[in-house]
Chains A and B, each alone.
Chain A
Amino acid sequence: MIPEIGLAALWLAAALAVLQMVSGAASLRAAPGEVNPLAIYARPAAIVQAFLAVLAFATLLYSFAVTDLSLKLVASNSHSMKPLIYKLTGTWGNHEGSMLLWVGVLAASGGLLSAFEKRLPDRTMGATLAVQGFVALGFYAFLLLASNPFERLPVAAAEGSGLNPLLQDIGLAIHPPTLYAGYVGLSVAFSLAMGALLTREVNPAFARVMRPWVLGAWVLLTLGITAGSYWAYYELGWGGWWFWDPVENASLMPWLAATALMHSVSVLAARDALRTWTIMLGVLAFSMSMLGTFLVRSGVLTSVHAFAVDPERGAFILGLLGIYIGGAFTIFALRAGAVAEGKRFAALSREGALVFNNVMLSAILAIVLLGTLYPLLTEAFDVRVSVGPPYFNPASAIFAIPMLLVMAVGPLLRWKSDKPARLQFELALIAALVIGVIALVSFFGQYPLLPLLGLGLAAALAVAAVLPLKGRKLTRVPVATWGMVIAHFGIAVSLFGMACEGAFSEERLAAVAVGGTEQIDDFKVTLDSVMPIAGPNWTAMQAQLSVSDNGAAPVILDPQARTFWSPPQSTSESALLTKWDGQLYAVIGNQAEDGRWQIRLWWKPFVTFIWYGGILVALGGVLAIAGRVRVDVKRRVASAKGARRRADVEALGAPAPVPAE
Chain B
Amino acid sequence: MKAKHQRLVLVIIALLAIVGAGLLAAWSLRNQANYFYLPEQMAKAPPEVGQAVRLGGMVQKGSLVTEADGVTVNFKVTGNSADAIPVRYSGILPDLFVEGSGVVAEGSLGPDGVFKATNLLAKHDENYVPKELEGMGTDAAAKMAADTTVGLK
Contact = CB atoms under 8 A, between A and B. Distances in A.
Interface string B1-36: 101101100100110011011101110110011111
A341 B21 contact: no
Say whether chain A's binding surface is mostly helix, strand, loop, or mixed: mixed
A447 interface: no
B90 interface: yes
A161 B125 CA distance: 13
Contacts, number: 141
B62 to A, nearest CB: 15
B3 A362 contact: no
Contacts of B153: 76, 161
A363 interface: yes
Given A383-B35, A386-B34, A587 B92 contact: yes
B61 interface: no
Interface in A385-416: 385-388, 390-391, 394-395, 398-399
A441 interface: no
B29 A374 contact: yes
Contact of B95 (A363, A366, A572): A572
Given A567-B126, A571-B95, A344 B6 contact: yes
A177 B14 CA distance: 34
Interface in A125-167: 161, 164-166
Interface string A9-43: 00000000000000000000000000000000000
B25 A371 contact: yes
A362 B21 CA distance: 9
Contact of B33 (A301, A302, A386, A569): A386
Interface residues on B, range: 35 or more
Given A371-B29, A387-B33, A567-B151, A395 B24 contact: yes
B24 A367 contact: yes
Interface residues of A, number: 60
Interface string B118-147: 000000111111111000000000000000
B54 interface: yes
A238 to B, nearest CB: 8
A600 interface: yes
B125 A166 contact: yes
A631 to B, nearest CB: 29
A341 B35 contact: no
A391 B28 contact: yes
A519 interface: no
A241 B117 CA distance: 20
Given A344-B6, A366-B18, A509-B90, A302 B126 contact: no
Contacts of B150: 568
Contact of A385 (B18, B33, B125): B33
Contacts of A646: none
A387 B6 contact: no
A419 B85 CA distance: 64
A35 B13 CA distance: 44
B87 interface: no
A593 B32 contact: no
Contacts of B70: 510-511, 592, 594, 596, 598
A391 B33 contact: yes
A568 B125 CA distance: 8
Contacts of B54: 386
B36 A359 contact: no
A366 B21 contact: yes
Contact of B3 (A308, A341, A355, A383): A341
Contacts of A399: 21
A360 interface: yes
A384 B36 contact: yes
A509 B95 contact: no
A355 B11 CA distance: 11
A399 B21 CA distance: 8
B33 A509 contact: no
B144 to A, nearest CB: 15
Interface string B71-83: 1000000000000
B129 A363 contact: no
A589 B13 CA distance: 52
A304 B28 contact: no
A386 B93 contact: no
Q: Which of B25, B91, B124 has the most CB of A within 10 A?
A: B25
A51 interface: no
B49 interface: no
B125 A164 contact: yes
Nearest to A355: B10
Contacts of A390: 32, 34, 52
A277 interface: yes
A429 interface: no
Interface string A563-591: 00001111110000000000000010110
11 contacts: A164-B127, A302-B131, A341-B4, A363-B18, A363-B21, A370-B26, A370-B29, A371-B25, A388-B32, A568-B151, A590-B92
Given A388-B32, A594-B70, 10 more contacts: A76-B153, A301-B131, A341-B3, A359-B14, A362-B17, A370-B29, A568-B150, A587-B92, A598-B71, A598-B92
